């Protein structure tokens, strides 16, 4: 609901999780607006915070986390006047450190070497008295990701939570001024408060009224896209993934002939993907053209390097060239992308605010000389799945696991991609999915990934030595892919996967990977 005025202002201080604060608020039924204070002005993120507050009169302010230290020369600058506006403020992570620092310059403990990220057990002192922690118990499993911390609450503030051993001050508040702060991240799903903390803040402390309804989203996406497109002609690349297919389904009835949907067969698709996408799009009445003449070019260009970022860059380059060709063929003026908030955040894209670049996404900030429309740029994966359901897209589509645009090219690791290796991972991916389905766990897993590791190791097959590759099977659970946890498979499933995959003459070992994100990412590259 970007078009509505918002009661809640989120000031983005460079956190990977800023959009998640917004998403969690939407989940709770509240619209909010993000302003990035570190440059990159957009219509929705004007640089002047105070001007925006004066014009829009929000009921409260949330300060996001961020990777800076308050001691950094280039730390995000928040105008201190926000402290005197009489608005309740919730500082999260860096936001808490900033709140402490502006009240007492000695209150910040600078950590020079190791940062703390991962789960923390929080001891809440104020669950009976603090409005922020109302309806929570005395212990909370939370997620933290920070370097510096607050040594002591500045004058006027009282401590309301610490880490279990008491080493880290995890929350503080100044009830008179309505300033609240938490060192951990209440917005992420790993903090097991079921969004109670954010809800306590916006509803009970700030008196915000629910103003966001999921059903409004489809109409708003259509209206905004129609406006952005005008009389133009738009192309949309449909990958068969949830995002682009849902978007094409949403827009087809409203844009009609102004929208040209096509699919590029990159050679890195899952087994039977093209046929499956044709079927799905036919049912959704999307008029789809499949273009497969560029497969060889993708393999050739990406196969020139084994470096993860160079491979992504090569994919992106060929993808861009192909898109340009296709756009020219249709005489297109615009390109519509199913890019999500997650993609923008991890690409460190200007459109996502101030977050750091993690990896290059093939379709973010792609310059084709066309005007770009990204109707899903504020949404997360699970929200798009909800849209697909609202839109009556069939359940198979909404329940499908996501698949990255560069596809199996990201799953041949440490060795140049060839058509043969792509075929090995394609078949292995299919076999693993079949096994997971047979054991009834496929639907519980957010994503299963099979990658080929190009490090030779010794095996023995049929009494002969084989110096071959390994496959790694990664199964994870998550809601939004900003953070993931390993989904541990039972020994019986692992055994079946191993015995199936090593049947290939060149595969000698199978590994399993259940590393969380962070520190790993979901994909290997
Ligand atoms: P990471 O590896 O960034 O993945 O933790 C998060 C989710 O995004 C998918 N992914 C991509 N999707 N283009 C896409 O369309 C990409 O370049 C890309 N890279 C990762 C990944 O499969 C996971 O679902």
The pLDDT score that the predictor gives to residue 402 is 84
Tell me how far apart the alpha carbons of residues 23 and 317 are, in angstroms, rounded to a whole number: 32
pLDDT band at 48 (very low <50, low <70, confident <90, very high): confident
Q: Is 448 annotated as a binding residue?
A: no
> Of these residues, 187, 189, 346, 525, which one is catalytic?
187
Say whether 418-513 and 8-205 share the same fold: no
Report the 10 Å Cβ neighbour count for 266. Answer: 26
What SS3 state is found at 479? coil
Q: Is 242 annotated as a binding residue?
A: yes
Tell me how far apart the alpha carbons of residues 361 and 15 are, in angstroms, rounded to a whole number: 19
Q: Which residues pair with 162 in a beta bridge?
A: 123, 169
Ligand 1 mutation pick, 523, 524, 525, max ligand atoms within 8 A of CB: 523
Q: Which fold has domain 418-513?
A: GMP Synthetase; Chain A, domain 3 (3.30.300)
pLDDT tens for 98-116 read: 999 999 999 888 875 566 7
Centre of ligand 1 from the C-alpha of residue 410, in Å: 10
Mean pLDDT is lowest, of 89-103, 238-252, 382-396, for 382-396
Cβ(204)–Cβ(131) below 8 Å: yes
pLDDT at 5 exceeding the cut of 80:
no
Q: Is 470 annotated as a binding residue?
A: no
pLDDT band at 352 (very low <50, low <70, confident <90, very high): very low
**Top-ranked range on mean pLDDT: pick from 346-360, 379-393, 492-506:** 492-506
Quickly list DSSP for 485-499: EE-PPPHHHHHHHHH
Strand spans (E) along 81-233: 89-92, 108-109, 116-124, 139-146, 149-150, 158-163, 169-174, 179-182
Q: Which fold has domain 214-398?
A: Rossmann fold (3.40.50)
pLDDT at 398 exceeding the cut of 80:
no
Q: Is 187 a catalytic residue?
A: yes
Interstrand relation of 149-150 and 139-146 (parallel, antiparallel or unpaired): unpaired
Strand spans (E) along 462-487: 464-477, 485-486
Q: Is 494 a catalytic residue?
A: no
Q: Is 137 annotated as a binding residue?
A: no
Is the minimum distance from the CB of 447 to ligand 1 under 6 angstroms? yes
The pLDDT score that the predictor gives to residue 330 is 94
Q: 284-300: b or e for each residue (b if 16 or more CB lie within 10 Å)?
A: bebebeebeebbeebbe
- Helix H or strand E segment including 224: helix 216-229
pLDDT band at 397 (very low <50, low <70, confident <90, very high): low
Look-up of token digits 């991972």: 425
Mean pLDDT is lowest, of 139-148, 214-223, 321-330, 370-379, for 214-223
The pLDDT score that the predictor gives to residue 35 is 85
Is the minimum distance from the CB of 402 to ligand 1 under 6 angstroms? yes
The pLDDT score that the predictor gives to residue 350 is 47
Higher confidence at residue 207 or residue 361? Answer: 207
Look-up of token digits 């068969």: 240
The pLDDT score that the predictor gives to residue 392 is 64
**Top-ranked range on mean pLDDT: pick from 39-48, 107-116, 315-324, 364-373:** 315-324
pLDDT tens for 422-468 read: 999 999 999 999 999 999 999 999 999 999 999 999 999 988 999 99
Q: How far is CA 512 from CA 212, 369, 429, 442, 445, in A?
A: 41, 43, 13, 16, 14
The pLDDT score that the predictor gives to residue 346 is 62
The pLDDT score that the predictor gives to residue 317 is 93
pLDDT at 39 exceeding the cut of 50:
no
Look-up of token digits 């199996």: 408
Closest CA to 86 of 207, 181, 204, 178: 178
**Top-ranked range on mean pLDDT: pick from 108-112, 293-297, 476-480:** 293-297
pLDDT at 208 exceeding the cut of 90:
yes
Find the mean pLDDT for residues 468-487.
Answer: 94
Cβ(117)–Cβ(144) below 8 Å: yes
Q: What average pLDDT does the structure give for the chain?
A: 88
pTM (global) more than 0.85: no
Query: At a CB cut-off of 8 Å and minimum separation 6, what does 420 contact?
Result: none
Radius of gyration of the chain (CA): 24
Written out in words, the top-level CATH class of the domain with range 8-205 is alpha beta
Is the minimum distance from the CB of 346 to ligand 1 under 6 angstroms? yes
Is the minimum distance from the CB of 481 to ligand 1 under 6 angstroms? yes
Please report, for the chain, the start and end positions of each structural domain, with discontinuous segments joined by +.
8-205, 214-398, 418-513
Is the minimum distance from the CB of 406 to ligand 1 under 6 angstroms? yes
pLDDT band at 509 (very low <50, low <70, confident <90, very high): very high
Centre of ligand 1 from the C-alpha of residue 248, in Å: 20
pLDDT at 312 exceeding the cut of 60:
yes
């Amino acid at each position: 609901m970007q078009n509505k005025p918002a009661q809640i202002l989120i000031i983005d201080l460079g956190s990977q999780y800023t959009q998640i604060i917004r998403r969690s608020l939407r989940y709770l039924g509240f619209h909010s607006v993000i302003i990035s204070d570190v440059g990159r002005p957009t219509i929705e993120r004007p640089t002047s915070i105070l001007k925006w507050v004066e014009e829009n009169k929000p009921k409260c302010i949330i300060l996001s986390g961020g990777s800076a230290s308050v001691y950094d020369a280039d730390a995000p600058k928040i105008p201190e006047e926000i402290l005197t506006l009489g608005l309740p403020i919730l500082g999260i992570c860096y936001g808490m450190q900033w709140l402490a620092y502006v009240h007492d310059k000695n209150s910040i403990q600078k950590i020079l070497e190791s940062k703390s990220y991962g789960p923390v057990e929080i001891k809440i002192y104020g669950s009976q008295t603090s409005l922020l922690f109302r309806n929570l118990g005395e212990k909370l499993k939370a997620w933290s990701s920070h370097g510096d911390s607050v040594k002591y609450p500045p004058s006027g503030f009282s401590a309301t939570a610490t880490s279990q051993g008491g080493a880290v001050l995890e929350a503080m508040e100044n009830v008179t001024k309505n300033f609240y702060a938490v060192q951990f991240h209440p917005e992420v799903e790993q903090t097991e408060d079921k969004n109670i903390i954010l809800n306590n803040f916006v509803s009970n402390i700030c008196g915000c009224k629910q103003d966001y309804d999921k059903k409004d989203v489809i109409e708003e996406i259509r209206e905004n896209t129609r406006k952005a497109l005008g009389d133009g002609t738009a192309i949309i690349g449909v990958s068969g993934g949830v995002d682009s297919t849902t978007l094409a389904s949403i827009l087809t009835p409203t844009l009609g002939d102004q929208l040209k949907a096509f699919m590029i067969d990159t050679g890195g698709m899952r087994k039977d993907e093209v046929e499956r996408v044709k079927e799905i799009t036919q049912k959704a009445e999307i008029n789809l053209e499949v273009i497969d003449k560029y497969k060889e070019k993708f393999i050739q260009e990406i196969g020139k390097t084994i470096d993860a970022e160079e491979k992504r860059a090569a994919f992106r380059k060929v993808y861009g060239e192909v898109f340009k060709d296709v756009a020219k063929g249709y005489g297109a003026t615009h390109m519509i992308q199913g890019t999500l908030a997650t993609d923008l955040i991890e690409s460190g894209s200007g459109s996502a605010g101030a977050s750091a670049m993690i990896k290059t996404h093939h379709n973010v900030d792609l310059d084709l000389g066309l005007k770009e429309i990204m109707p899903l740029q504020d949404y997360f994966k699970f929200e798009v799945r909800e849209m697909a359901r609202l839109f009556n897209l069939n359940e198979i589509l909404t329940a499908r696991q996501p698949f990255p645009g560069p596809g199996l090219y990201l799953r041949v690791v440490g060795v140049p991609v060839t058509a043969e290796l792509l075929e090995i991972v394609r078949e292995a991916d299919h076999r693993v999915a079949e096994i997971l389905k047979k054991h009834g766990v496929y639907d519980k897993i957010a994503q299963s990934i099979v990658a080929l590791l190009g490090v030779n190791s010794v095996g023995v097959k049929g009494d002969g030595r084989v110096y071959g590759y390994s496959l790694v099977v990664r199964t994870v659970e998550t809601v939004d892919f900003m953070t993931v946890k390993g989904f541990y498979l039972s020994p019986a499933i692992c055994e079946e996967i191993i015995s199936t995959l090593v049947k290939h003459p060149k595969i000698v070992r199978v590994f399993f990977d259940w590393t969380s994100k962070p520190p790993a990412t979901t994909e290997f590259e």
